[in-house]
Structure 1
Amino acid sequence: MELKTIIYKVADLIATITLSRPKRRNAWTGRMHTEYRWALEQADRDPAVRVIVVTGDPEGDAFCAGADLGALEGHSEKGRYDPGITEDIARPGYGVAPEFDATFAYHFGLAKPVIAAVNGAAAGVGLVLAAYADLRFAVPGAKFTAAHGRFNFPAEYGLSWLLPRIVGLTHANDILLSSRVFTSDEAMAMGFLNKLLPPEELMPFVMDYAKRMAEGVSPGSLRVTKNQIYTDLHRDAASAVNEAERLLSEMATHPDYKEGVKAWMEKRKAKWQG
């Protein structure tokens, strides 16, 4: 696929997806969504990738400023919402569980963790992207907003389900019912973010974190643990324990288990088979 709105790179076991429409503050379009899903599918299938990092083009002075205003005007003129995608769009993460087979929920079906490096404003769908990442790191003072209330929209793409699970009902109601702007400093206090870092330290920290995860955790463990986390949101505690015990017995027969023990005993990096 010819990429016009994102930059996709793979190095050191990490796939980096950069939202890149800097003149429009990396605003979201149907084209960007199409390219983003293509890139996720490539990363998820690539054995040379173990962790995915998503960030915004720094020239855009934002992570993602939300839906492009031109697209919003188009919806208004048509009198209906048009996502701007086609039926043949890539389907990363689909087929793992019915609960994940929907727009943005597909992140939960990916076999690899996604880290959001939020280097500026995250509004509307930008907030959605950050929320569906597994880990979120940001710069101080970045502005966040759900924004939907200003356009007579509902809470978008499952945020009404997801945000209460991340920040609790009280904070989720504040974000979603007011559509107010809040800062990354507030988001950190709410528990939405894992860490705040100065702009010059954000990407070096995230890439180092991703590399340590890619090298220090077996690919099988990353895949299964991520699936457990999001599947267990729908389970009771006993079912989660029973499934964990089943997986433990199964995964203990894999060569990566023996390699992990051996590497630990020999105080070296493990050579994962994946």
Structure 2
Amino acid sequence: MSMELKVTRYTAGDGVAVITLHRPERLNAWTGRMHTEYRWCLQQAEADPAVRVIVVTGAGRGFCAGADARALEGHIEKGGYDPGTPAELPTPGFGVRPEFDHDFAYHFGLAKPTIAAINGPAAGVGLVLACFCDIRFAAAGAKLTTAHGRLGLPAEYGLSWLLPRLIGLSAAMELLLSSRVFLAEEAEQLGLVHRVLPAGELMPAVLDYARRLARTVAPSSLRVTRRQVYADLHRDVGSSVEDAGRLLDELTRGPDFREGVAALLEKREPDFLAVTPPRTAPPAN
């Protein structure tokens, strides 16, 4: 399935795919077209064995300012919610667990970690997208908000389930109920953001972090560890221990384990990109 990218950009190299939301004149406000393209970009990254880590960011001054105002107005005219997406959508992350086969929850079924580089405002669905990523970095002073309360909407796309698990019930409830704007610095204090950086240093730092993950952490370990974490949100500790034992047996037979042990014995840093050398994928248009 090919796609002409109009409101996103996709590039890949050095083991890292970068998905950029690209409506800078609208602070990358979310539309059905953007949702469709974003899922397609994720699918490309998943299918490319050279991609080990996925970075999501926004063009210009914003990460994603939430739903496009024109689209919100359209819901009123149509008398209800219209996602604006085609009947057939790309399905990255689907098929792992039934509870992951839903909008944004599909992130939990991906085989590769996702990192949000929040370069500017992240509101509503923009904050949802950032929260469904595994790790978040943010530019100093970036404004974040759940936003839905000021629009007379419910918490969107499972944020009421996810946010309490990220920062705790009380803090999440306050942000969800108030829909207030909070800054990246407060998000870092709450544990929602891993690190805050000056705007000009954000992407270089995120890419350096992502490339280091791609190079020094086994892709097999990245894949199973994140799936363990998200599966464990739905199961008991005994099932988690049992699954860990099965995975331990599986991964010790693989080439990543051999490279990890060799690096340990040789007292060097492992290089998992050398196990399966990456190719540089051309930008998708």
Q: What interval of TM-score do these two structures reach, taking the shorter chain for normalisation? A: over 0.9
Instruction: Give CA deviations for 1:2-48 in whole Å, capped at 9, x if unaligned.
Output: 00001100111110001010111111000000000000000011111
Give the structure 2 partner of residue 193 of structure 1. 193
- Is 1:182 the counterpart of 2:182? The answer is yes
CA distance change for structure 1 residues 156 and 268 in 2, over 3 Å: closer, same or farther?
Answer: closer
1-structure distance, mates of 2:219, 2:110: 12
Give the structure 1 partner of residue 166 of structure 2. 166
After TM superposition, give the deviation of residue 222 of structure 1 in Å: 0.7
SS in structure 1 of the partner of residue 130 of structure 2: helix
Give the structure 2 partner of residue 144 of structure 1. 144
- Is 1:26 the counterpart of 2:28? The answer is yes
Contact 1:219 1:272 survives alignment (8 Å): no
After TM superposition, give the deviation of residue 111 of structure 1 in Å: 0.2
2-structure distance, mates of 1:256, 1:66: 40
Give the structure 2 partner of residue 36 of structure 1. 38
SS in structure 2 of the partner of residue 63 of structure 1: coil
Instruction: Give CA deviations for 1:108-144 in whole Å, capped at 9, x if unaligned.
Output: 0000000000000000011001000000000121111
Mind listing any 5+ residue stretches in structure 1 that lack a counterpart? none
After TM superposition, give the deviation of residue 269 of structure 1 in Å: 3.5
After TM superposition, give the deviation of residue 216 of structure 1 in Å: 0.5
Contact 1:53 1:117 survives alignment (8 Å): yes
Identity %: 61
AA partner of residue 2 (structure 1): E
Give the structure 2 partner of residue 74 of structure 1. 74
Structure (1/2) with the larger helix percentage: 1
1-structure distance, mates of 2:269, 2:107: 32
After TM superposition, give the deviation of residue 71 of structure 1 in Å: 0.2
Contact 2:259 2:270 survives alignment (8 Å): no
Give the structure 2 partner of residue 110 of structure 1. 110
2-structure distance, mates of 1:12, 1:86: 33
- Is 1:48 the counterpart of 2:50? The answer is yes
Please, what is the CA RMSD of the aligned residues?
A: 1.1
SS in structure 1 of the partner of residue 122 of structure 2: strand
1-structure distance, mates of 2:10, 2:139: 22
Correspondence for 1:11 among 10, 13, 30: 13
Give the structure 2 partner of residue 272 of structure 1. 275
SS in structure 1 of the partner of residue 155 of structure 2: coil
After TM superposition, give the deviation of residue 263 of structure 1 in Å: 2.2
After TM superposition, give the deviation of residue 173 of structure 1 in Å: 0.4
After TM superposition, give the deviation of residue 264 of structure 1 in Å: 2.4
Give the structure 2 partner of residue 214 of structure 1. 214
Aligned residue pairs, count: 272
CA distance change for structure 1 residues 253 and 2 in 2, over 3 Å: closer, same or farther?
Answer: same
After TM superposition, give the deviation of residue 273 of structure 1 in Å: 4.1
AA partner of residue 135 (structure 1): I
AA partner of residue 223 (structure 1): R
Contact 2:114 2:133 survives alignment (8 Å): yes
Give the structure 1 partner of residue 282 of structure 2. none
Contact 2:131 2:163 survives alignment (8 Å): yes
Mind listing any 5+ residue stretches in structure 2 that lack a counterpart? 278-285
Moved over 4 A (4+): none
AA partner of residue 275 (structure 2): W
Instruction: Give CA deviations for 1:211-237 in whole Å, capped at 9, x if unaligned.
Output: 000010111111111100100111112
Q: Greater CA deviation, 28-37 or 146-155?
A: 146-155
1-structure distance, mates of 2:140, 2:269: 36
Give the structure 1 partner of residue 124 of structure 2. 124
Higher relative contact order (CA 8 A, sep 6+): 2
After TM superposition, give the deviation of residue 156 of structure 1 in Å: 0.3
After TM superposition, give the deviation of residue 272 of structure 1 in Å: 2.6
Contact 2:216 2:269 survives alignment (8 Å): no
SS in structure 2 of the partner of residue 187 of structure 1: helix
2-structure distance, mates of 1:272, 1:122: 37
Contact 1:75 1:82 survives alignment (8 Å): yes
